[in-house]
Amino acid sequence: MTDLPPDLPRLRTLETWLQLTLDEVRAAIAAAEQREAERQRGIERRPPAPDWLLEVGLNRDSPPVQVHVGGCWNSGKRTRGIDRGEALRALGDGVTACGVCRPDSELGFLDG
C-alpha cells in the first residue's frame, strides 16, 4: 500500500500536483510527436540524390576537379548534381574520374 496522507486537504493538494505534472508530460509528448512528424515529412520530401556529381574548384573560375558517382563518400563539399550526359562530357573534356567510386566505369566511359 502507498504512503498517502490521510487528510483530505493534503490529498487534494497531491491530486492537483499530479494533474499539473500529467498535463506537462502530455504537452511534452505532443511536442515530441510533432517534432517526429516534421522530421518524417522532411525525410519523405527530401529530393533524391543525383546520380552523378561534379566537384568544382575553389572559385567559380577554376575548372572542375572530379566527377563522382552520386553519394560518393570521397566527394568534396563543392559539388553539384549533374546528369549522365554532363558526366560523360566532363570525362571526355579531361575532368578526372574519382578513383574511389569510379564513375568512368559506371558510365562505361573508355578513355582514348
**What would the pLDDT profile of 27-67 be if each residue is shown by its tens digit?**
999 999 999 999 999 999 998 889 999 998 888 788 899 99
Q: Return the HEC string of the chain.
A: CCCCCCCHHHHHHHHHHHHHHHHHHHHHHHHHHHHHHHHHHHHHHCCCCCCEEEECCCCCCCCCCEEEECCCCCCCCCEEEECHHHHHHHHHCCCEECCCCCHHHHHCCCCC
Q: How many domains does the chain have?
A: 2
Give residue 57's domain range: 52-107
In a domain, 88, yes or no: yes
32 and 14 in a single domain? The answer is: yes
Answer whether 0.85 is exceeded by the pTM: no
80 and 57 in a single domain? The answer is: yes
**What would the pLDDT profile of 57-101 be if each residue is shown by its tens digit?**
888 788 899 999 988 998 888 898 999 999 999 999 999 999 999
In a domain, 2, yes or no: no
57 and 96 in a single domain? The answer is: yes
Contact residues for 15 (Cβ-Cβ < 8 A; gap 6+): none
101 and 59 in a single domain? The answer is: yes
102 and 56 in a single domain? The answer is: yes
